Amino acid sequence: MSDGALNPSAELPRARRAAVGRSLGGAVRKRIGANASLTLGCVIFGTMLLIAALASVIAPFNPDTQDIPHALTAPGVEGHLLGTDQLGRDVLSRLLYGARIDIFIACGSVLFPFAIGLIVGMLAGYRGGWVDSVLVGIIDIVFAFPALVLLVALVFVLGPGIGTIVIAITLTDWVSYAQLSRTSSRREGTQEYILAARTGGIPTRRILFRHVLPNIIVQPIVLATSDALLIIIAITTLGFLGLGVPPPAPDWGTMISEAQPYLNVQWWLAVAPGVAIIITGLGLSLIGDGLAAKLDVR
């Protein structure tokens, strides 16, 4: 187990064996395929990130400026490439600023559950005993709620706002990471090199952060990419339900919700933000797939 750093799962040797057992050509193709989806995913998501960062530079209009006389214009009219919404605001600009809001909230909302879940799960899994039992209980309890229901209820009681959304997502989502890192950390804790380190009198903190953490972090990272996709959908869903970022800030979900009455005539008002969500999701999903294949996770 000298290359333990890249060996987080017990199933891994079997996976490797299976890969060798299958046609080697297939394995090579699979590898290239994995890299292709990773590259494509990074390009797509990177572009979205760039758009989010440069929204203020590339947006042709102020996203919040209302122009009621020119409400609901068709695409291309008076420089509004995607037309205007029911308040005469430029749809393209709102779309670009929406990327900023939704993607940045999503990134923040992934970070907290990831860090909290990873650390708590690692400590509990390594320690074992009652700490671990309590964590398992909490995980079971949170998983008993449909995630969206708990999220909606939390945002409702905490009140609207970006901070609230991040807190609510953190409260519902950290358990996924905790469960994953708890299982791996439990397994890792019984490995002989850890026993050797413990016998050698190396302090627990150092064992955890220098030996256990590097060995269990790969799976949570892969989870985080697919999780970011679910979080973007959750954020836009909150917006659609009227529980999202307070207006007038542009959010893709709110845009779709507002476009609902005009679906018959101005279908692009709803389709454009939907496509934006799907493209972002596709990027994240490809990254997740590529990472999983590349790092041999799952």
Partner 1 sequence: MAYAGFLIRRLLQAIPVIFGVTFIVFWLIHLVPGDPARTALGLHATPAAIAKLHQEWGLDSSLPAQYLNYLGRLVTGNLGTSLRYQESAGTLILERLPVTLWLIVYSTVLVAIFAVPLALLAASRPGALRDRLVSIISVAGLGIPGFWLGLILIQYFAIEARVLPAAGFGSGFTGHLESMFLPSLTIAIGIIPMVVRSLRAEVLRTADLDFVVTARSKGLSERRIRWRHVLRNALPPSVTILMVNVGFLIGSTIVVELVFSLGGIGSLMINAINGRDFPLVQAVTLFFAFMVIFTNILGDLLQALLDPRLEAR
Partner 2 sequence: MSVLTSESGAEGRDLLVVRDLRLGVGEGEGSFEPVVGAALRADRGEVVGVVGESGSGKSLMLRAIAGLLPPGVDYRGGEVTVGGIDVPHAKPADLHRLRGETVGMIFQEPMTALNPTMRIGTQIAEAARAHRDLGRGEAKARAIDLLGRMGFTEPARQYRLYPHELSGGMRQRVVIAIALAGEPALLLCDEPTTALDATVTMRVLDLIVGLVSDLDIGVVLVTHDLGVAARICDRIVVMYAGRMLEEGPADKVLRRPRHPYTLALLRAVPTRETTIEELRAIPGTPPVPQEQLPGCPFAPRCEFAEDACLREVRTVAIEDGRTTACRRHEVLAKMVEGAGV
Chain residues that interact with partner 1, rule: CB under 8 A: 18, 26, 29-30, 37, 137-138, 140-150, 152-154, 156-159, 226, 229, 233, 236-237, 240-243, 253, 256-257, 260, 263-264, 267, 270-271, 273-274, 277-282, 284-286, 289, 298
Closest approach, Cβ 32 to partner 1, in A, equals 12
Closest approach, Cβ 28 to partner 2, in A, equals 7
Q: Are 221 and 214 in contact (CB under 8 A)?
A: no
Q: How many CA atoms lie within 13 A of 133 on its CB side?
A: 2
Q: How far does Cα 184 stand from its chain's mean position?
A: 21
Closest approach, Cβ 269 to partner 1, in A, equals 11
Q: Which is nearer to partner 1, 220 or 244 (CB)?
A: 244
Closest approach, Cβ 13 to partner 2, in A, equals 14
Partner interacting with residue 30 (select from partner 1, partner 2, none; CB below 5-8 Å by kind): partner 1
Closest approach, Cβ 253 to partner 1, in A, equals 7
**Phi, psi (deg, nearest 5) at residue 22:** -70, 175
Kindly list the residues in this chain that would bind partner 2 in the complex (CB under 8 A): 20-28
Partner interacting with residue 28 (select from partner 2, partner 1, none; CB below 5-8 Å by kind): partner 2
Partner interacting with residue 226 (select from partner 2, partner 1, none; CB below 5-8 Å by kind): partner 1
Nearest to 236 by CA among 176, 143, 159, 169: 169
Q: Which is nearer to partner 1, 250 or 273 (CB)?
A: 273
Q: Which is nearer to partner 1, 194 or 270 (CB)?
A: 270
**Phi, psi (deg, nearest 5) at residue 222:** -65, -40
Closest approach, Cβ 172 to partner 1, in A, equals 10
Q: How far apart are CA 182 and CA 180, in angstroms?
A: 5
Residue 178 CA: distances (Å) to CA of 43, 56, 90, 173, 276: 30, 38, 43, 9, 31
**Phi, psi (deg, nearest 5) at residue 84:** -125, 160
Partner interacting with residue 20 (select from partner 2, partner 1, none; CB below 5-8 Å by kind): partner 2
Evaluated on CA atoms 176, 182, 185, 186, the torsion sign reads: negative
Q: Are 269 and 262 in contact (CB under 8 A)?
A: yes
